[in-house]
Structure 1
Amino acid sequence: MKDIVHTDNAPEAVGAYNQATITENLVFTAGQLPMTADGELLDDEPIDVQTEQALSNIKAVLEEAGSGMDNALKVTVYLDDIDSFDSMNETYSSFFDEEAPARSAVEVANLPKGVGVEIEAIAAR
């Protein structure tokens, strides 16, 4: 059984996907871009600002699903430039306590809409 998650506090899904899906006690978010809930793309902002927005979107989606950042089990961060890792990581760290989730961070050739970061998460519910 799969349930669909939707919140107005994160950008709308524009394509063949949903903001998140839930199965049993796990929440799987879609990759979140640095885009406001109103649709403003922050692609020209520094990576720390982009990271903050993407993680704010993750937070909103997880909360709508009955979870939260403290329940995140695994996060994947896609960067268009691995040299921006330190800046991303500083902002990323502010969203988690000392029991941070497992994480992968990888450099990719391109991200949707020319952004510098996309982030997805799996969380307990």
Structure 2
Amino acid sequence: MHKTRIQTNAAAPVLGTYSQGIRASGDIIFLSGQTGRNEDGEMEKGIEAQTHRTLANIDAVLNSAGCTRGDIAKVTLLMANIKDYKVIDQIYAAWLPGDTVTPAKPTRTAFQVPALPAGALLMIEVTAISPT
């Protein structure tokens, strides 16, 4: 399997020993969990702002890999508080392309975790299929 690192300055910098994303064997794109940190590494305040920033970071990393949100196949949503699910889901639903099941919405797993890095309220991990 061939792996290529995906890196962009348009999303938050990494906090540790990982890549923003990886292109595997040319077609599959794996994004590391993105949080609500901006390009300067500062965390946005509140669940709505963090959700919007997290999705913008996902867009930036996907874009640097030649993909869009329409190419997403699988999403994992981690939340510090499950009570935030409804707010996150409304913002996420508006961010997804289309307003029906066509194109097919990505699969998704969502759950609460005890803590997230840098005090994040949510983290979203994405797997996409490259259109090229």
Would the TM-score normalized by the shorter structure come out above 0.5?
yes
Q: Distance in 2 between matches of 1:56 and 1:100?
A: 18
Code of the aligned partner of 2:19:
N
Q: Which runs of 5+ in 1 are unaligned?
A: none
Quote the sequence identity (%): 31
Q: Give the aligned partner of residue 116 of structure 1.
A: 121
Deviates more, 1:85-94 or 1:96-105: 96-105
Aligned-residue Cα RMSD (Å) equals 1.0
Output the CA distance in 2 between the equivalents of 1:79 and 1:109: 9
Alpha-carbon distance in structure 2 between the residues aligned to 1:60 and 1:80: 24
Q: TM-score, normalised by structure 1?
A: 0.94
1:61-95, CA deviations, whole angstroms, 9 ceiling, x for partnerless residues? 01100111000000111001101100000111111
State the partner residue of 1:93. 93
What corresponds to 2:9 in structure 1?
Answer: 8
Which stretch of the first structure deviates more once superposed, 74-83 or 46-55? Answer: 46-55
| SS, match of residue 34 in structure 2 | coil
Q: Structure 1 CA distance, aligned partners of 2:16 and 2:46? A: 26
Relative to the length of structure 2, the TM-score reads 0.89
In structure 2, stretches of 5+ residues that fail to align are none
Question: Within the alignment, does 1:36 sit opposite 2:19 as a pair?
Answer: no
1:40-79 to structure 2, matched below 5 A, reads 40-42=42-44, 45-79=45-79
Tell me how far 1:46 sits from its aligned partner: 2.3
- Identify the residue that residue 21 of structure 2 maps to in structure 1: 20
Match of 1:83 in 2: 83
Q: CA deviation at 1:26?
A: 0.6
CA shift for structure 1 position 14: 2.6
Q: Structure 1 CA distance, aligned partners of 2:120 and 2:22?
A: 24
